[in-house]
Structure 1
Amino acid sequence: MAAQKGKDLLLKVDSNGSGSFTTVAGLRARAIAFNAETVDVTHQESAGQWRELLAGAGVKSARLSGSGIFKDEESDALIRSYVFDGTIRDWQVVVPDFGVVEGAFQITSFELTGRHDGEVAFEIALESAGALSFDAD
């Protein structure tokens, strides 16, 4: 994957369950991490006492995170309602020259910060809540 502009990595949400995704407003930084737990099946007779792992047996998960500012009251209210209600929604992350990851996520962390001489900013983290799909570019 060649170098890409960070602003081209998009975080989107299906806010009403219709299958239509809208870019989350005001995000200045975004990231996605994929995780796969391992299942250790090492036993006394493992070759050379080396650890053995069971392929495909661990739990898979993904974490989306971002930070930025709210550009309007609608995006502020939407995210706030997801946090307080524990809402699970379909989200997308669009990574240029890589693909689109889509699936159900829940907001697991939401922080507001502000300086006396600046705007109120937020940081958000979402954890996968089911199977994810991936469509390569």
Structure 2
Amino acid sequence: MAIQKGKDLLVKIADGAGGFVTVAGLRSRSLSFNAEPVDVTHSESAGRWRELLAGAGVKKASVAGAGVFKDDASDTLVRGLVFDGAIAAFQIVIPDFGRIEGPFQVTGLEFKGDHAGEVAYDLALESAGALSFTAL
């Protein structure tokens, strides 16, 4: 994978018409994957080293982003998810690598603004089911 522009890492939300729309105004975005280990260490573990059970822990993905507020279709979709507590399909496009797609819940939406600046927001998503990966 060659060096890519950070602005090409996209967070998209299902638009309700079978497509996806890019979440508007994001200036920074991040995607992280985590798997909780299941410790199965016992008194006869070799050298008393910790042993983990493969494939047994909970897997999750977290998305975070921050940007400027724009009265756009994607902002309306995200705000609706927050107020409804709903789960929606999202896509995260990693340039020259692949596309992650699946259900996410908006777990944080924070608006902030300075007196002499623009309104900005922070967004947090947590995976809410199985995710798929498609190589680009």
Return the TM-score normalized by structure 1.
0.94
* CA shift for structure 1 position 69: 1.4
| Identity level (%) | 64
Aligned equivalents of 1:75, 1:40: Cα separation in 2: 41
Aligned twin of 1:77: 76
Distance 1:100 1:73 in 2: 23
- Cα separation, 2, equivalents of 1:133 and 1:53: 25
CA distance in structure 2 between the aligned counterparts of 1:19 and 1:65, rounded to whole angstroms = 24
> Do 2:9 and 2:29's aligned partners in 1 also have CA atoms closer than 8 Å?
yes
Q: How far is the alpha carbon of 1:73 from its aligned partner?
A: 4.8
Counterpart Cα distance in 1 of 2:112 and 2:11: 20
1:26-45 aligned at under 5 Å gives the runs 26-45=25-44
How many residue pairs get aligned? The number is: 136
For residue 90 of structure 1, report the CA deviation from its aligned partner. 0.2
Residue 126 of structure 1: how far off its partner (Å): 0.3
1:3 corresponds in structure 2 to 3
Determine helix, strand or coil for the equivalent of 1:121: strand
Aligned-pair CA distance for 1:136: 1.4
* Structure 1 runs, 4 residues or longer, greater than 3 Å off: 73-76
The residue matched to 2:93 in structure 1 has which SS? strand
Gaps of 5+ in 2: none
Contact between 1:103 and 1:130, CA under 8 Å: does it hold in 2?
yes
Structure 1 unaligned blocks of 5 or more = none
RMSD: 1.2
For the 8 Å contact 1:15–1:89, the answer to whether it is kept is no
Partner of 1:48: 47
Distance 2:41 2:80 in 1: 46
